[in-house]
Structure 1
Amino acid sequence: MSIFGKIKSAIFGNNGPLGGGVFGGSKPAAPAAPQTTQAQPQVAPRTPQPQSVPAQVPAAQPVDVEQVLTGIASGKGNPDLNWRTSIVDLMKLLDLDSSLTNRKELATELGYTGAKDGSAEMNIWLQKAVMRELEKSGGKVPAGLKD
């Protein structure tokens, strides 16, 4: 899984904004049909009845990225992590490897064109790019975190 994929999964859950993780569980698999050795009676298939379709299906609510990250931070009890401005702290908060090697990989994934040397410029760009990508993936991100 990509570095950004790991970040997204840690915030949205394993199945995207609507399933798994923090925002709902995935449905358990349906139980298997019982196996019997007796022949089942044949029943003629029923003709499906027309059903009304709602005119508009409500859109899924976006994931509040700031709220999720604030909740994770408060749950860990580590107020020293400045995840709002530091990509290193964001990755640490999400229990991801924040090494320069991983940040270089993340920079490549997100299209960073500058020197991948761990500079403040690269890290600031990464933090904002991650927030923009989270928003594109269905997250609600305050302007101050992505601009």
Structure 2
Amino acid sequence: MSIFSRIKDAIFGGSATAQEAPQAPSATAPPTPGSAAAPGASGTTASVPQGTAASSATSATPMAQVDVEAVLTDRAAKKGQKLDWRKSIVDLMKLLDLDSSLDARKELAKELNYTGDTSDSASMNVWLRKQVMSKLAASGGKVPDDLKD
């Protein structure tokens, strides 16, 4: 599993799992009505999942975004040590109980296609924090603009 995937899973946690369950049926919901036009077993299949998919898709829409800032703020409050996750990729990774070593950050930089010098860890770290927040937003997270910049 990629480091970014671990970051995302740690933040989205149960919310990501809860969202994935409704998304799976809603992803199958559009083909089901098309399949329902064909007689046979698909008509039976359409009647059971279609009702489930319709209610799940409806409930998944309002909950589409995870409030990343709220999740991280809550975790930080419970952590028991001061971690400046808003400004530091190292502290963000520590907050999520992930390896924050230079090697792990270099691996994350490679995953996220960092083109700068990985020997300049300060620049790389700033870039990583911004990229991680932007990618979390692109993955369905609600991330304030000041955390992406």
Q: TM-score, normalised by structure 1?
A: 0.71
CA distance in 2, matches of 1:73, 1:134: 18
Cross-structure match for 1:69: 72
How far residue 120 of structure 1 moved from its aligned partner, in angstroms, is 1.4
CA distance in 1, matches of 2:109, 2:122: 13
Q: Against the structure 1 CA distance between its residues 108 and 75, is the aligned structure 2 distance closer, same or farther, given a 3 Å change threshold?
A: same
CA distance in 2, matches of 1:63, 1:104: 27
Cross-structure match for 1:81: 83
Task: Please state if 1:127 is matched with 2:129.
Answer: yes
How far residue 76 of structure 1 moved from its aligned partner, in angstroms, is 1.1
**Matches of residues 4-15 of structure 1 in structure 2 within 5 Å?**
4-13=4-13
Task: Please state if 1:112 is matched with 2:114.
Answer: yes
Aligned length in residues:
120
How far residue 75 of structure 1 moved from its aligned partner, in angstroms, is 0.8
Residue 136 of structure 1 aligns with an amino acid whose one-letter code is A
Unmatched runs of 5 consecutive residues or more in structure 1 = 21-44
> Tell me, what secondary structure is at the counterpart of 2:58?
coil
Aligned Cα root-mean-square deviation (Å): 2.8
Q: After TM superposition, what 4+ stretches of structure 1 lie above 2 angstroms from structure 2?
A: 14-20, 47-54
How far residue 15 of structure 1 moved from its aligned partner, in angstroms, is 7.4
Q: Against the structure 1 CA distance between its residues 18 and 86, is the aligned structure 2 distance closer, same or farther, given a 3 Å change threshold?
A: same
Mean Cα displacement is larger for which, 131-140 or 8-17?
8-17
Q: Looking at CA atoms only, which structure, 1 or 2, has the larger radius of gyration? A: 1
Mean Cα displacement is larger for which, 67-76 or 7-16?
7-16
> Tell me, what secondary structure is at the counterpart of 2:136?
helix
Residue 125 of structure 1 aligns with an amino acid whose one-letter code is W
Unmatched runs of 5 consecutive residues or more in structure 2 = 21-40
CA distance in 2, matches of 1:98, 1:135: 21
CA distance in 2, matches of 1:81, 1:15: 23
CA deviation string 1:74-93 (max 9, x = no partner): 01122x21000100000000
CA distance in 1, matches of 2:119, 2:14: 31
CA deviation string 1:70-117 (max 9, x = no partner): 000101122x21000100000000011100100001001111100112
Higher helix share: 2
How far residue 57 of structure 1 moved from its aligned partner, in angstroms, is 3.2
**What is the identity percentage for the equivalent residue pairs of Structure 1 and Structure 2?**
57
Task: Please state if 1:102 is matched with 2:104.
Answer: yes
Please say if residues 9 and 15 of structure 1, whose CA atoms lie closer than 8 Å, have aligned partners that are also in contact: no
